[in-house]
Amino acid sequence: MPNLLSPTGKLTRKPYVIIILSLLFIMHFYDKAPTENLAINIIILLLLLVVYIFTIIKRLKDIGWSRLFIILTFIPFISYIFLLILAFEKSNSGVEKVKQSFSWENFKNQIFGISTIGFYIMYFIYGIVQFSAIYSGANAIFNNGIIAFIIAGFICYIPLIGTCVGIYGAHIGWEMSWASSFLLFFAPYLLIGSFFLIGLLIDKVSTWQHQHD
């Protein structure tokens, strides 16, 4: 059994999947447990977070990827895509490979590839949710499901009008707060911003590395 509180060593697919599923299961139900002692809860959650990060680091070492990929675990939705990729990626243990120096360019391309896959999946799912909110808003205005569906189909391609109707629909139809309704439509821009900042950071580090080689 691997030491869960140490980043040393490697994890093959089976123990990685068992540990990750166990951690997600514990975190899910622990979050719903009644809170009695805040300090103890914080300590337990921090320990679970440490185990989670060390598990991913060990898996990255096993498949021969840079440990810098750990940054993907802190990006909403992309983290789940990343965890799935790690679960299916084959181990490099026992395979003779020519050791190559780390390349920021390759790292940037791999990060971009994983992020792009996750972004398009999220964009499709988010699009369905946003269209449903726009339909809810149109239905609240016209009080006719068929007309609301047709109107929603048109205005979803008009950013300003579609966003306003969608926010109204999320608030009135789904009984979400105004803040949550705004976040429903503007959260993707925050995610895009995080992609941009990560890409900019990698470019800066890559440029610095080339200048000092």
> In this structure, is residue 103 part of a structural domain?
no
Q: What are phi and psi of 143, to 5 degrees?
A: 55, 35
pLDDT of 105 reads 61
- Let me know whether 81 and 163 are in one domain: no
- Let me know whether 17 and 51 are in one domain: yes
Q: What is the pLDDT of residues 8-38, one digit of tens each?
A: 888 888 889 899 888 888 877 776 666 666 6
- Let me know whether 23 and 48 are in one domain: yes
Look at residues 93, 126, 143 and tell me which one is the last residue of a structural domain. Answer: 93
Rounded CA gap, 197 and 109, in Å?
15
> In this structure, is residue 151 part of a structural domain?
yes
Tens place of pLDDT per residue across the chain (213 aa)? 667 778 888 888 888 989 988 888 887 777 666 666 667 777 888 888 888 899 999 998 888 887 878 877 877 667 888 888 888 888 876 554 444 455 556 666 666 676 677 677 777 777 888 889 999 999 988 888 888 889 888 888 787 888 899 899 999 888 888 888 888 888 777 766 776 776 677 667 667 666 665
Q: What is the pLDDT of residues 119-139, one digit of tens each?
A: 777 777 778 888 899 999 999
Give the residue numbers spanning the domain of 55.
13-93
Q: Please, how many CA atoms are within 13 Å of residue 102, restricted to the half-sphere of its CB?
A: 12
DSSP result, 153-211: HHHTTSHHHHHHHHHHHHHHTS---HHHHHHHHHHHHHHHHHHHHHHHHHHHHHHHHHH
pLDDT of 136 reads 92
* First-residue to last-residue Cα distance in the chain: 41
Q: How far is CA 194 from CA 85, 130, 198, in A?
A: 21, 21, 6
